[in-house]
Structure 1
Amino acid sequence: MATIETRTTDTGEKSYRVKVRLKGYPVQSATFGRLTDAKKWAAATESAIREGRHFKTNEAKKHTFADAIDRYSADILPTRFNSIEQRNRRPMLEWWKAQIGHCVMADLTTATFAQARDSLAKSGRKGKPLSAATINKYFVVAKDILKRCVNEWHWLEQSPLRDGRVELPELPRGIVRFLDDGELSRLTAACKESPNDLLYPAFVLAISTGMRQSETMNLYWREPENPPTETAWGVVNLSEPCIILHATKNGDRRRVPLTSLALAELQKLAKVRRLDTVLVFPSPTHPHKPIELKKAWLNALQRAEVNNFRWHDLRHCTASYLAMGGASMVDIAAVLGHRTLDMVKRYAHLSDGHITNVVERMNTRLFGSV
């Protein structure tokens, strides 16, 4: 409850001292020259305390955005993200700290972040603007910090980035490049005929599983004593049979099934594996490092007459073939290791035939054959 004490100076001027006392909270007080102002403040403060808003506002005045970044770097980054994501986020955190770290949390507005967005867009190398994807990544980090400030630390009442209040550049529609039947046949043959014995099994594994290049090239026959900290890696389990990816780009642990030709190729490699390394695809000169397949890969592409195609596009092939085979977007996201469906929407048009069949089956069940 609130109490108001009237004070009179020697000159006869009156002031009103307000104290708000609520059980479990520290006493809040303020002095006003008018009784009406004192009553309004008392009512507003008491209401804000009961609703959990008052002390958040106080905390917002005590801390800067740099304080939030430091706490996030110390408490959140090492515990919630793997080493790959930590490495990716640290330069972004440093940029935010240099840009608006001096701002008191209470002073952060949508305008603050809109100006930061514009500065970020101009900070590319050689005078080129940063890509929309990169700008969005910076704001993903900022949103995560502000979310902690609101929900966990109670340094803010609301995030200035909530509900998309700062407009970010639209991400370009992803390009889907996959091999047609002729290209697939020619490139498969070229990889199989390559002087590099590891190109063909790596190619088959990549296109069969949809794994990223770093995930494919950093596979081990058993868990290494010193697993890599700066890249994705996994372990082959032929008895299951599957691959367990212990570290991935998005930080999730993932199980990848092994079937058909991919399984057969790994079984062949297991029989002739080198004893000086536990890597599945080791370098011939540095056994504890993955092999570099770039030269062999480019030669295979040239021999197969496949143009405008990268190793990463093998991942698009996997997703595209799954879509054309009737897999749902949820299935494709699970295979590729995406947390959301946004990244796999680019393959939706390839499953139109499957969707048509689903709708047709539903209508047949409801109304019978026409």
Structure 2
Amino acid sequence: MATIRKRDGKKGVGYQVQVRIKGGDVETASFKSLTKARLWAQSIEASIREGRHFTGSESKKFTLSDLIDRFLMHPSLKAKTKIQYTPQLLWWSKQLGPLKLSDISPDKIASQRDKLLKSGNKTSTANRYLAALSSAFSMAVREFGWIETNPCTKIRKLTEPRGRTRYLTKNECSRLLDECEKSGVRELLIIVILALNTGARKNELRWLRWTDVDLHKGTLLFRDTKNELFRSVPMVGRGLKFMREWGKVRLLDTDLVFPGKNPKNPVLFEKSWRTALKSAGIEDFRFHDLRHSSASYLAMNNVSVRTIAEILGHKTLSMVQRYSHLSSEHLRSEIARTMEALDL
């Protein structure tokens, strides 16, 4: 709330304006005109409401490009996160990079985000771009001290469509595994079987290391997970059999289970994967849908939602509720028991 005080001085009448900022700070300015004093107060209050008012000089010194460059070089940024964020943040730098941080408002950010939608991107993509920018602004608030608030927090997240539940039918699964075996890329067959066996994400499998594989107990330990929690999952059947065979021919100059041509990096199998899908006549299917397939098979065999969440590594049950419609028998028995008790 702005306060305007009239001052009588040697040079005539003046007006002093004070606007109290969140946190106890006060912005002050003096004017000879009451109209100008009121306009200034209104502009400060408007900028506070819009989340673009910063009292520090740092926000007027650094540009968004400065922030993005420093953020991407920060030692706490994981290599995988940096790879994911770099193209997104470079896009933001191209759109708003020259602007001072003090001039970047939620409205300007939202307007640029909407350009992504107009150019044909999905709402989920626009949300990911905004999340990347928000991470940079959060670091500017918490660590750099360049700004006081993150303008991205005032932007409402776009509604995304419900998650896919596309999974392989028994016939599709058989055809796909046959084509993976015919591909000649042994890693592809093993990785696909492990994805169906464990519900693991693609990069969890690609970056798997032998130190996290227990062939005796038949378990895999995933360390670099999406929610940053370790997850141990058992291997059974063909997955365990193939991994034990694969372990006998492992390379000695790398700890990666599936190394690429450069042993320091994991194998790239996208081309072989797409070829196998095409040869198997399977359409509208992504590698991540193997994870959905694994969860769906468990649900159809009456495995509880809580157990499926534990296997997939979800923190909450809401992410696996999408599979509950595939198994109603466990609900039927519980309802029948309850109705019997009520004599209904």
Structure-2-length-normalised TM-score: 0.69
Counterpart residue number, 2:147? 155
- Hey, what's the Cα distance between the residues in 1 that align with 2:16 and 2:188? 81
- Report deviation, 1:183: 3.7
Counterpart residue number, 1:270? 247
- Hey, what's the Cα distance between the residues in 2 that align with 1:29 and 1:292? 59
Contact kept, 8 Å, 1:18 with 1:30, in 2: the verdict is yes
- Hey, what's the Cα distance between the residues in 2 that align with 1:358 and 1:364? 9
Root-mean-square deviation (Å): 4.9
Say which of 203, 212, 235 aligns to 1:259: 235
Counterpart residue number, 2:298? 322
Contact kept, 8 Å, 1:61 with 1:104, in 2: the verdict is no
Say which of 203, 226, 244 aligns to 1:214: 203
Q: Greater Rg, structure 1 or structure 2?
A: 1
Partner SS for 2:166 = coil
Counterpart residue number, 2:96? 100
Structure 1 residues 82 and 65 mapped into 2: Cα distance closer, same or farther (>3 Å)? farther
- Hey, what's the Cα distance between the residues in 1 that align with 2:309 and 2:289? 16
- Hey, what's the Cα distance between the residues in 1 that align with 2:186 and 2:53? 65
The percentage of aligned residue pairs carrying the same residue is 31
Q: Deviation digits for residues 98-147 of structure 1, max 9, x if unmatched?
A: 3224445554444323321233334x5xxxx2233221211112333445
Structure 1 residues 142 and 199 mapped into 2: Cα distance closer, same or farther (>3 Å)? closer
Structure 1 residues 253 and 302 mapped into 2: Cα distance closer, same or farther (>3 Å)? same
Contact kept, 8 Å, 1:68 with 1:149, in 2: the verdict is no
- Report deviation, 1:321: 1.4
Contact kept, 8 Å, 1:210 with 1:316, in 2: the verdict is yes
Structure 1 residues 148 and 328 mapped into 2: Cα distance closer, same or farther (>3 Å)? farther
- Hey, what's the Cα distance between the residues in 2 that align with 1:315 and 1:98? 35
Partner SS for 1:243 = strand
Counterpart residue number, 1:9? 10
User: Any stretches of 5+ residues in structure 2 without a counterpart?
Assistant: none
Counterpart residue number, 1:135? 126
- Report deviation, 1:333: 4.4
Structure 1 residues 369 and 268 mapped into 2: Cα distance closer, same or farther (>3 Å)? farther
Contact kept, 8 Å, 1:81 with 1:251, in 2: the verdict is no
Contact kept, 8 Å, 2:72 with 2:86, in 1: the verdict is no
Partner SS for 1:117 = helix
Structure 1 residues 258 and 78 mapped into 2: Cα distance closer, same or farther (>3 Å)? farther
Q: Deviation digits for residues 321-368 of structure 1, max 9, x if unmatched?
A: 12323445554444334566675454343244444445555x359x44
Say which of 307, 319, 322 aligns to 2:282: 307
Counterpart residue number, 1:74? 70
- Hey, what's the Cα distance between the residues in 2 that align with 1:334 and 1:255? 8
The correspondence of residues 21-36 of structure 1 with structure 2, limited to 5 A, is: 30-31=29-30
Letter in structure 2 aligned against 1:96: W
- Hey, what's the Cα distance between the residues in 2 that align with 1:273 and 1:86? 29
User: Any stretches of 5+ residues in structure 1 without a counterpart?
Assistant: 223-234
- Report deviation, 1:320: 1.1
The correspondence of residues 13-92 of structure 1 with structure 2, limited to 5 A, is: 13-15=12-14, 30-31=29-30, 57-59=53-55, 63=59, 67=63, 70-71=66-67, 73-74=69-70, 78-92=74-88
Structure 1 residues 333 and 100 mapped into 2: Cα distance closer, same or farther (>3 Å)? farther
- Hey, what's the Cα distance between the residues in 2 that align with 1:215 and 1:101? 34
Q: Deviation digits for residues 234-276 of structure 1, max 9, x if unmatched?
A: x32335543233334x372532312322334323333454546
- Hey, what's the Cα distance between the residues in 1 that align with 2:90 and 2:203? 26
